[in-house]
Each structure stands twice: as C-alpha cells, then as structure tokens.
Amino acid sequence: MAGGGVVVQGGAKNYEGGVTSFVLVTCLVAAMGGLLFGYDLGISGGVTSMDQFLKDFFPKVYRKQLNKGHESAYCKFDSQLLTLFTSSLYLAALVASFFASVVTRMYGRKMSMTVGGISFLIGAIINGAAVNIAMLIIGRLMLGVGVGFANQVVPVYLSEMAPAKVRGALNIGFQMAITIGILIANLVNYGTAKISGGWGWRVSLALAAVPAILMTVGSFFLPDTPNSILERGHVDEAKKMLQKIRGTPNVDEEFQDLYDASEAAKQVHHPWTNILRGRYRPQLTMCTLIPFFQQFTGINVIMFYAPVLFKTIGFGAEASLMSAVITGVVNVVATLVSVFSVDKFGRRVLFLEGGVQMFICQCLVGIMLALKFGLRGEGTLTKFDADFVLFLICAYVAAFAWSWGPLGWLVPSEVCALEIRSAGQAINVSTNMIFTFVVGQVFLSMLCHFKFGLFFFFAGFVAVMTVFVFYMVPETRNVPIEEMNRMWKAHWFWGKYIPDEAVIGSSNEIQPNKTA
Ligand SMILES: OC[C@H]1O[C@](O)(CO)[C@@H](O)[C@@H]1O
C-alpha cells in the first residue's frame, strides 16, 4: 500500500483565534530573512558572467571564454576558483547554522535574526569594496554566516507564530522572500551590467546591504514566539504573547499543548543525541533527505549559473541576463501558486506533480543539448531552439517553485516537535547548505565533463525523490505541530518507530487551569 498518503484528520485540533494582523506583520518582517538569502543566490551568477568582473578577478576564465575556437562550449567557464566565489558562502552558512541553533534555543529567535542581519551587512560592504579575490571570498563568508543564521531561525519563527490552519501558507513566506530576493538580484544584474566603466558588479554586490538592514532593523521590533518564551521559562509572558498573536484571550487549549510540549522538551538535555533516538527517526530522515533532494533537483544550476549557462549555449550577454530575469519572474509567480494551494491541496500533491514536471523538462533539455551540441560541445541554437530551451527551463523552475522549493523548508520545520526542533532545523539547514555548496562547486566542471548528460543526471535524482515522497512522506496539511506524532504513528512504515506514549492526548496534564 502507498502508505505515504496517510492523512490525520480527526487528530487536528481547531484552536481558537485566527490570523491576526499582528501575526501577518511579524511574519512579513521575519520573512525578510529569506530576502537576504535569495539576493545572494541570485546575484553571483550574473556577476560571474560580467566581463569586467572576470577580467579583474578571473583573467584566465575571461580569456578562455573569448577563445571560442578551441574550447568546447561545455567547458568555457570551468574554474574551481570561480565556483568557489559562488559556493564559499554556503560553506560558511553551514558552519554558522550550528552556532545559530544554540543561539536560537538559548537566547530566542529574535537574537538570531539580529546576528544574521549584522554579519550580512558586513559581508555586503566587504564585497562591494573588494580589490582582490581574498576580499571577495571573505565577504562571501560573512554573508554566509548571515544566511546560516537567517535560514536557521526564520522558518522556525514562522511555524511557531502561525495558527495551524495557515501555517503552510505563512511558512512559505520564507521561500517567497527567497525567490523575490533572487528576482531582485537578477534585475539588479541586468541593470548594473550596463553601467559603463565596468564597476557595475560592485553595485550588485554592495546592494546586498539593503535586505541586511531591513532584517537587522526589523528584528529589533519583532516579538519572540510563545514557544521560545516558554522554552526559556517565562510561562505568563508566553501565554500573554499567545493571546496577543491569536487576538483572543481564549487560548487555553493551544497554550496547554504548547506547555506540555515545552515540559517534555525540558526533560531533554541533549537535543542532538535526542534526535538520533529511534522515535525521532522519521523526523531525522525528513530533515536530512528533504534538503538533500531539494538541492539534487539541480535548481541551483539554474539559479547560480543561468546567465553562464545561457551564454554557454550561445545567448548574447544581454540576452543571458534577460533570460535570468525571466526565470526569476517564473520562480516568484510559481511560488505564489504554492502559497495559495499548499493548505488547500496539501503537500503531497505539489511534491508529486512538481517532480513529474521537473523530470520531463530536464530530460527534454538534455535531449535538445545532445542534438544541438553533441558530445563535442560544438554547434549553435536557432532562435526557435533557444526559445524552446528557455521555455523548458521556465517550466522546470515553475515546477520546483511550487513543490520542492517551499516544501523543502516547510515539511522539515513542521514535523519536528519542540524538543528536537532546533536540532532538526539545524540539520535541515546544514544539509541544504552542504549540497548547495556541492552543486555550486562542481556544476561548472560537471557540465564540462558530463556535458548534456548532466540534465539526465539530475532527472534521475528527481525520479528517485518523487518515489520517495510517494511512499515515505505523509500528508502534514492541517496537523498541528503538537499532533504530529499521531500522524507518524498512523504511517505504514514510520509507525513502528513511535511509542504509544509519544502521541499527545496520553500526555500528563500539568496545568491546574487546563480547560480542554
Ligand atoms: O528558488 C530557488 C532557491 O530555493 C532554494 O532551493 C532554497 O529553498 C535555493 O537553494 C534555490 O536557489
């Protein structure tokens, strides 16, 4: 039986209180963290395709790129140093996310946002002023620290603030902000490439300071989440915050569940060893495999290297940057589709449809490149061919953007109970970063060696992950965080890992004023 389809309906509680404007505003500010990340993801591809930037920092690549006659199209940009500029950020983010998890737990969600914003700001300044490769890389590392903090804290913040019924949509605010950040970066590159004098790349890199300031300033005004306040032992304050964000004094039932979960969490002194215990095997698996798969959709091949890729297949410099803008727009619009459908149709439908669509598009791009460039990487695309490739890439980006993009953050963050949430999120972010780094670092040389086969390589992964979702990922739509264990318990495979007493309802009732 395809047990992945288990949906827990009866278990979902309808807590009182709706989406208050207070929740919306706080979530909007918090989602700015995603802007930081997105701007960085989107900016490096355009910058590394700008002639002056290559001349200044990577003269060898620049010469190779001009040397049309001797080089296979697939290998024009193959340089480990060039990819290190892009990917070093994700290595720093990886290391930072572990520190961020401690800060998030001990000092609250707000503090992590402030730290992230400030280091991001420093990185943007160093990058904009760079005069050598060392400065470029150091700047990228600082940006990485910012991204590590932001990615650790923002999804958790959003899940904790949102009422269960709109948690999906609000959490996707994070991915939405990432895609808007990418699009802004694409537009900025398109504009700065035209600046005469060749210093446009500086503007591109320095403008990252804008989202950094937004997030830093925003974080001073944000309240902490009730869960985080409780986690640090302030019961009354936590309840007041819950009443405030739900817009009703009647929050006893929800608060009791939060309280129970928080008490249970306090018994756990080592969230890291905890998440390794058998009963958290489903969560550990989701927090590792989902981000791994998200990156092995190959999405960042497009996000990092779209301009380079389009140049490789014969687009002109301006057309390449324009094409990146087009994929950026598709990315934002398709993420919106997810916002409006994730709580209506659920996560699994999006995952599965997205997977099939990505698979088809990747295979067709691989076939097109095989036919037009063959193994030797020589050939050209007609206008029609080029338009068709661009169309396929847009359809692929759209599929990613309503499935693995947002769900890659949403599902791992919503399946973890409080006692493992920081650890689970840290694993999610770091796995995402490791593989963002890996794909970022090896793509240009993979393209050089695998040639058109690269697209089949990623298509293979997409097939595997779609099957994985079908069998192993249960539907989490409408399941309050505190009720997740009930859902795992009902799953054909994961059920055996969940002890009976882990299912809430059988928990001890600690508070004297409990009403439910
Ligand atoms: O929108 C695309 C972007 O989304 C992410 O997968 C994060 O969820 C990034 O790695 C990618 O660049």
Q: Which residue of 39, 299, 443 sits with most ligand 1 atoms within 8 Å of its CB, as the best mutation to test the pocket?
A: 299
Nearest ligand 1 atom to the CA of 331 is 1
Closest residue by Cα to residue 443 from 87, 44, 179: 87
Percent with pLDDT over 90 in the chain: 38
The residue extents of the domains of the chain are 21-224+268-502
**Contact in structure between 87 and 419 (CB atoms under 8 Å):** no
Chain centroid offset of residue 8 CA: 26
Provide Rg for the chain, Cα atoms: 23
pLDDT digits (tens, 9 = 90+) for 110-165: 888 899 999 999 999 999 999 999 999 999 999 999 998 988 888 778 778 878 77
Question: Average of pLDDT values for 255-261?
Answer: 84
Q: Cα(266) to centroid of ligand 1, in Å? A: 34
Helix, strand and coil content of the chain, in percent to the nearest 5, comes to 80, 0, 20
Predicted pLDDT at 4 = 30
**Whole-structure pTM value:** 0.83
Q: Cα(269) to centroid of ligand 1, in Å? A: 33
Nearest ligand 1 atom to the CA of 409 is 8
Q: Cα(122) to centroid of ligand 1, in Å? A: 23
Nearest ligand 1 atom to the CA of 297 is 6
Read off the pLDDT band of 286 (50, 70, 90). Answer: very high
CATH number of 21-224+268-502: 1.20.1250.20
Q: Cα(53) to centroid of ligand 1, in Å? A: 24
Q: Which residue of 90, 176, 178 sits with most ligand 1 atoms within 8 Å of its CB, as the best mutation to test the pocket?
A: 178
Tell the residue nearest (CA) to atom 4 of ligand 1: 405
Read off the pLDDT band of 197 (50, 70, 90). Answer: confident
Nearest ligand 1 atom to the CA of 401 is 1
ipTM of the prediction = 0.96
By residue count, the chain amounts to 516
Tell me the residue type at 105: R
Q: Give just the sign of the alpha carbon dihedral 47, 49, 52, 53.
A: positive
The yes-or-no verdict on residue 12 having pLDDT over 50 is: no
The yes-or-no verdict on residue 329 having pLDDT over 50 is: yes
Query: Tokens at residue 164, please?
Result: 């269960």
Q: Which residues line ligand 1 (CB under 6 A)?
A: 41, 175, 178-179, 182, 294, 299-300, 303, 331, 401, 405, 408, 436
Provide the angle, in degrees to the nearest 10, between the axes of the packed helices 383-402 and 317-345: 30
pLDDT digits (tens, 9 = 90+) for 380-438: 778 888 889 999 999 999 999 999 999 998 899 888 877 787 788 788 888 999 999 99
The yes-or-no verdict on residue 93 having pLDDT over 70 is: yes
Rounded to the nearest 10 degrees, how much is the dihedral formed by the CA atoms of 476, 480, 484, 485? -150
For residue 362, CA distances in Å to 158, 403, 496 come to 33, 16, 37
Predicted pLDDT at 106 = 84
Tell the residue nearest (CA) to atom 9 of ligand 1: 300
Tell the residue nearest (CA) to atom 8 of ligand 1: 405
The yes-or-no verdict on residue 516 having pLDDT over 60 is: no
Closest residue by Cα to residue 485 from 294, 284, 314, 282: 282
Tell the residue nearest (CA) to atom 5 of ligand 1: 405
Read off the pLDDT band of 5 (50, 70, 90). Answer: very low
Closest residue by Cα to residue 408 from 382, 379, 436, 389: 436
